[in-house]
Amino acid sequence: MSLFTEPIGLSHFLVVGAVLFVCGVICMATKRNVLGVLMGIELVLNGANLNFVAFGSSVLRPAGTEGIGMDGQMIALFVIVLAAAEAAVALAIALSYYHAHATVDVDRGDELKG
């Protein structure tokens, strides 16, 4: 198996990130539970974060090529912090939504439909 012997490259990480991202999107698109949607968002953010980290990593690319360096980790760090904050706000919204609709089904929240 070549995967076990070949060195891991940037593309591998990107593929994992893509999987996480797509899973997050599908999760958002299919879950009717507000919290499920929130989890999808976390997945998407993690997929993106993985990409940032991979792009900033120096071990994953050929010698002599420059990545984005420290910026990747920096942005990823910000993303984690913001994701935590976002989770707090989103949960507050979810609670509020629950108070208003007595359910966490996002399909019920269609008062603003056209």
Residue owning tokens 């998407």: 44
Contact characters 3-42, other proteins, x per CB under 8 A: xxxxxxxxxxxxxxxxxxxxxxxxxxxxxxxxxxxxxx-x
Number of residues counted as binding other proteins (CB under 8 A): 95
CA pair distance 38, 27, nearest whole angstrom: 9
Instruction: Label residues 19-45 b or e (16+ Cβ within 10 Å = b).
Output: ebbebbeebbeeeeebeebbbbbbbbb
Smallest gap from residue 107 Cβ to other proteins (A): 6
Smallest gap from residue 1 Cβ to other proteins (A): 9
Contacts with other proteins in 48-77 (CB under 8 A)? 49-50, 53-54, 56-63, 65-66, 69-74, 76-77
Smallest gap from residue 79 Cβ to other proteins (A): 10
Which of 50, 31, 42 shows the shortest CA–CA distance to 84? Answer: 42
